[in-house]
Amino acid sequence: MTTLSSDLTHKPSNARIAAVQMISTPRVDDNLRSAARLVAEAVAQGAELVALPEYFPIMGMNDGDKVKVREADGRGPIQDFLAETASRHAIWLVGGSIPLMADNPDKVLNSSVAYNPQGERVARYDKIHLFGFQKGAERYNESATIEAGSLPVAFDTPFGRVGLSICYDLRFPELYRALGVTDLLVIPAAFTETTGRAHWEILLRARAIENQCFLLAAAQGGRHENGRETHGNSMLIDPWGDILDRKLKGPGIVIGEFDHARIAEIRASLPALKHRVM
């Protein structure tokens, strides 16, 4: 397991956390402007950690468009935007997912990158599970343009340990077990309307309940220029599975309190994590 830790030795603090929901376009510059506006809106409401959705910098007209704008690890306009935004607002920023160079020149890594309030990157997670779906004329095959990652990733903040995953990963609970005990799961996504309507909320609440942690889901949510409809329904969920805030469709934010007392209360009254035998 890949982990990035700081020397945080004091008692974890509470925090206000937010997820950004977007309807990203095929144009990177337009999407970065939209993301900047929505992050600023979250910060104005007190957010100390903000998460962007999967594919926030580009939802292309075809799957190959993201390959054309992929960046080398650690440099490029999208990564520069994330670092500068985190530093300017002095927040923890999870950059949804961005296209990074893969070993295969015709593919990308679909990577979630996290930055601290100084604008330093503290974690990178490459999406492990690649979405495939076919029902009638609706068909998706991420493995055609995405190279799968292999390592779970979590990182430490002053308010707790944060586990990363992306979209289709949500269907694989063993990934979250591999992260160990986390206080917050951040899940950027671009769930389809078909699968999202059936399973999105159920799966999110299950992951929060079984890991007894807060969960912040940042989604794409609406009709895109390429004709694809994403489910939206970004939400913040507490460790009991209660939904604290949600945004059904369209651009916007969800925001709420990350409360260590709530985690401690639930883990004390129902110590399921301690009862694990496998």
Helix pair angle (77-89, 28-44), 10° resolution: 10
> 135-168, pLDDT tens digit by residue?
887 787 898 999 999 999 999 999 999 999 999 9
pTM listed for this prediction: 0.94
pLDDT tier, 8 (very low <50, low <70, confident <90, very high otherwise): very low
For all residues of the chain together, what is the average pLDDT? Answer: 94
167 is catalytic: yes
127 is catalytic: yes
What pLDDT is recorded for position 105? 94
157-180: average pLDDT: 97
What pLDDT is recorded for position 2? 45
What pLDDT is recorded for position 80? 98
Q: Which of 66, 167, 247, 249 is catalytic?
A: 167
Q: Any idea which residue has 């950027």 for tokens?
A: 188
Residue 106's beta-bridge partner residues? none
Distance between CA atoms of 11 and 24, rounded to whole angstroms? Answer: 38
pLDDT reading at 216 higher than 60: yes
What pLDDT is recorded for position 10? 45
Domain ranges of the chain: 2-272
Task: Judge: domain 2-272, CATH 3.60.110.10.
Answer: yes
213 is catalytic: no
Q: Which of 107, 127, 247, 249 is catalytic?
A: 127
> 9-45, pLDDT tens digit by residue?
445 789 999 999 999 999 999 999 999 999 999 999 9
2-6, 59-63, 131-135, 244-248: range with highest mean pLDDT = 244-248
